[in-house]
Chain A
Amino acid sequence: MKYLIIMIGCISWLLGAVDAEFAMSKSIGVKEKITIVDCSNIIDISKRDRVFKIFKSDFGLSGSFISDSIYHTGDFDSKLISPELKSKPYLFKYSLINGSNGVELKVLLQKTTNGETMFSKNYALSSSDQYPFLIHKSIGDINKAMGKGNLSWMNKFVILSKVSSSGKSQIILSDYTMTYNKTIMSGGLNIFPKWANANQDKFYYTDMNGDRPSLYLVDINSGKKTFIIKSDGMLVCSDVNKNGQKILLTMAPNGQPDIYELTVATNGTTKITDYSGIDVSARYGANDNEIIFVSNRSGKANIYKKSFTSPSVTLATNYGSYNNTFDYNNNKMVFSSKESQNSFNIYLLKDKSNKPFPLTSSGDNQYPKFLFNSNIVSYVKQQGNHSKIGYINIDSLQGELFDFNGKIQSLDW
């Protein structure tokens, strides 16, 4: 029986280390092996499992730690470390408790060899439903204390539009695991939310409820809505530049979708592309001097580059013939490429390399996004009327996938 348990343990560990969703096997070179122990006594099994998954995901995506998938329980205050927990060099204990004043989290990181405390801290938050952010904060603190780098991306909000029904949507704030969900706008069709600044206290969105699509700016602190611009046909805020003073739009004042740049201070627009087909999804490129965008200039959707000062347009990648979403950061690009009917995979392209590196291997994977200046790429996996959101650490190639309750229309970080 003991051998059977050990074998099952080994298989579980291996399954945890090689995820079929990802194209490449994972490097385990510099990651610290860790055992996670739940000391919370959470009665709700689904919440208990969710909390454990979030801790496991945070450690995994940090690129610094690797944990197994075995769920352990224990006593937070006990000094004893049982022999089966000593198989890995680090032991992590947590206790998440809902109290009358909100939610409290205690974490403890120890060396299993001698019980030495490497990190210990208590956290509290008045809003119990925001507990995922406490977890992300604690793992970020541990990573930093261990000299492993900054995980501040985990503390950021995702803003997304969820399809409610035909012609209706909701705008929602979430944490990266989609566990915390707060609907901040509902009723009608409000789509393409986009953060207006790095502080994430304002966002743009397209209101489709009037006679023509309208772009609004919402101040989350005050709830104030400010009208920005209206257009025939369509209107999407595709990107905001680094200082938030200019935005890229796809709009169609004459029924023709092209890319425009809007200066926030004046609401004045400049037409950037002029093509009789489709130009959409523009992003600012290097130093805000160029744009990268999706166009059907070749007959199918593909990714192109264009300088602000030149009319010439060039392909951004020679890979594939149908590439429809992308993101760009510090000379790196990630993009989704159509492999077959309903099959899109995510590829990573580093500048001056013509050979993209596959990050996914199956399914309908789109909307890749570099998360700030981190080594994490997020993407959306569509499965019929439901979406999942995936994350890949492009250095360690560890990945996680989270279910979303519904279908994501668009999202931003």
Chain B
Amino acid sequence: MNKILGLVTTSIVMLWLTGCTQKAPVLGGQNSETGTAISDANSVAGGNMIGITDGPSGGTLGRTPNGASEMNSGNVYNSSSDGFVSLYFDVNSYGISSDMQTRVDKNIANLAKNPMNIKITGNCDESGTDEYNYALGLKRAKAIKDAIVSGGSSENSITIVSLGESTPVCTEDNEECKMRNRRVDIKKAN
């Protein structure tokens, strides 16, 4: 037992004197092997972390809901701009439902009347994982782009982007709210 105690004590002293050899993540430009932040072993960096700041981002907010039945018809809400109207989708779907066709036609007409470069953004509710939802939002945006191109607009004037579940217009925990987030928005491209 004394031998074990001796070995443990020796190990402790050696570790104390030499520090740990484990590779450390070094943050804020301070190398933990040469810095004074830590007196033993740990890979923790002290000091100043970087604080990268990027510019502001967009995000559109929809109108106040007026009722679930109107919501289901897709005729009430709109988080698009520049004369366009938003389009809504079923759960986990990127097919354009028949009751959205009027809105698709309205967008085609608006673009024909006011030619411009447009940005179509696809969005999802919070169900599922974000990476999958980014792809699902993209498929929705692509479906609307294809419909608009079929209506006679130039493909080159349209940019599509998915925002997944990152820009909800509603954050309440109910089905009506989720439905409002399963949408495609259209606006003039910058």
Residues of A within 8 A of B (CB): 102, 116-127, 130, 133-134, 136-137, 141, 145, 152, 155-157, 163, 165-169, 173, 182-192, 198-201, 207-209, 211-213, 218, 220-223, 225, 232-234, 236, 238, 250, 252, 255-257, 277-281, 294, 300-301, 324-325, 342, 366-367, 382, 384-385, 409-410
Contact A166 B61 (CB under 8 A): yes
Contact B135 A123 (CB under 8 A): no
Bitwise interface map of B from 138 to 159 toward A, beta carbon under 8 Å scored 1, else 0: 1101100100000000000001
Question: Could you tell me if A278 and B139 are in contact, using CB atoms closer than 8 angstroms?
Answer: yes
B132 near A280: Cβ-Cβ < 8 Å: yes
Tell me whether B115 is interfacial, beta carbon within 8 Å. no
**Which residues of chain B are within 8 angstroms of A294 by Cβ–Cβ distance?**
129, 131-132
Q: Lowest 4 CB-CB distances: which A-B pairs, in order?
A: A167-B59, A188-B57, A200-B25, A133-B44
Q: Which residues of A contact B189 (CB under 8 A)?
A: 211
State in angstroms the CA–CA spacing of A186 and B54 once bound together: 7
A127-B129 CB under 8 A given contacts A166-B59, A183-B51, A233-B162:
no
Asked if B112 CB lies within 8 Å of chain A CBs, one says no
Asked if A127 and B166 make an inter-chain contact with CB atoms under 8 angstroms apart, the answer reads no
> Given that A137-B40, A200-B25, A234-B138 are known contacts, is A116 also in contact with B161, CB under 8 Å in the complex?
no
**Residue B11 CB within 8 A of the other chain:** yes
Choice from B26, B55, B58, B168 contacting A201 with Cβ under 8 Å: B26
Closest A residue to B1 by CB, please name it: A116
CB distance from A386 to the nearest CB of B (A): 12
Cβ A163 vs Cβ B42 within 8 A = no
Given A208-B163, A233-B141, A250-B135, A167–B130 Cβ distance below 8 Å? no
Task: Verify B25–A188 contact, CB threshold 8 A.
Answer: no
- A252 contacts B138, C-beta separation under 8 Å: yes
- Contact call A281/B40, Cβ cutoff below 8 A: no
State whether B50 touches A125 (Cβ < 8 A): no
**Interface pairs (7), CB distance under 8 Å:** A125-B37, A130-B44, A167-B59, A189-B59, A233-B161, A234-B134, A324-B129
Q: What 1/0 mask marks residues of chain B from 43 to 76 whose CB sits below 8 Å from any chain A CB?
A: 1111101111111111101000000000000000
Nearest CB of B to A300, in Å: 7
Query: Does B131 contact A188, Cβ atoms closer than 8 Å?
Result: no
Chain A residues within 8 Å of B22, by CB = 152, 155
Interface contact A191-B50, CB-CB below 8 Å: no
Instruction: Please give me the residue from chain B that is nearest to A299 by CB atom.
Output: B92
* Cβ contact within 8 Å between B42 and A155: yes
* Least distance between A55 CB and chain B CB atoms (Å): 15
B124: shortest Cβ distance to chain A, in Å? 12
Task: Give chain A residues whose Cβ lies under 8 Å from the Cβ of B52.
Answer: 184-185, 218, 223, 225
Given contacts A125-B38, A130-B46, A167-B166, contact A220 B25 (CB under 8 A): yes
B23 pairs with A234, CB closer than 8 A = no
Kindly state whether residue B36 has any CB partner on chain A within 8 Å: yes
Is the CB–CB distance between B163 and A236 below 8 Å?
no
B119 contact set on A, CB distance < 8 A: 211
Size category of the B interface is: 35 or more
B81 within 8 A of A: no
Which B residues are in CB contact (< 8 Å) with A126?
Answer: 36-38, 46-47
Known: A120-B12, A232-B161. A280 touches B135 (CB 8 A): yes
Residue B109 CB within 8 A of the other chain? no
- Kindly supply a per-residue 1/0 record for chain B positions 156-190, scoring 1 wherever the CB is within 8 Å of any chain A CB and 0 otherwise: 00011111101111010100000000000000011
Q: A124–B38 contact, CB under 8 A?
A: yes
Q: How far is the CA of A145 from the CA of B8 in the complex (A)?
A: 7
Residues of A within 8 A of B166 (CB): 163, 166-167, 169, 189, 191, 208, 409
Which B9-45 residues have C-beta < 8 A from chain A? 11-12, 15-16, 20, 22-23, 25-29, 36-45
Do residues B129 and A255 form an inter-chain contact, with CB atoms below 8 A? no
A188 lies within 8 A of B129 (CB): no
Query: Is A301 in contact with B128, judged by CB distance below 8 angstroms?
Result: yes
A212 touches B29 (CB 8 A): no
Contact A167/B132 with A173-B27, A184-B49, A232-B159 known, Cβ cut-off 8 Å: no
Q: How far is the CA of A64 from the CA of B170 in the complex (A)?
A: 46
- B38 contacts which chain A residues (CB < 8 A)? 123-126
Residue with the greatest number of chain A CB neighbours at <10 A, chosen from B161, B168, B189: B161
The verdict on A116 contacting B5 (CB below 8 Å), with A137-B41, A410-B130 known, is: yes
The reply to whether A191 and B130 form a contact with Cβ atoms under 8 Å apart is yes
Please tell me if the beta carbons of B129 and A325 are within 8 angstroms of each other in the complex. yes
Specify the chain B residue showing the minimal Cβ separation from A410: B130
A13 to B128, CA, bound (A): 36
Cα–Cα, bound, A121→B13 (Å): 9
Partner of B132, one of A120, A185, A324: A324
Given the complex, which residues of B lie within 8 Å of A234, measured CB to CB? 134-135, 137-138, 161-162, 164
CB distance from B135 to the nearest CB of A (A): 4
List, in ascending order, chain B residues with CB within 8 A of A301's CB: 128, 132
Contact A220 B135 (CB under 8 A): no
A201 touches B25 (CB 8 A): yes
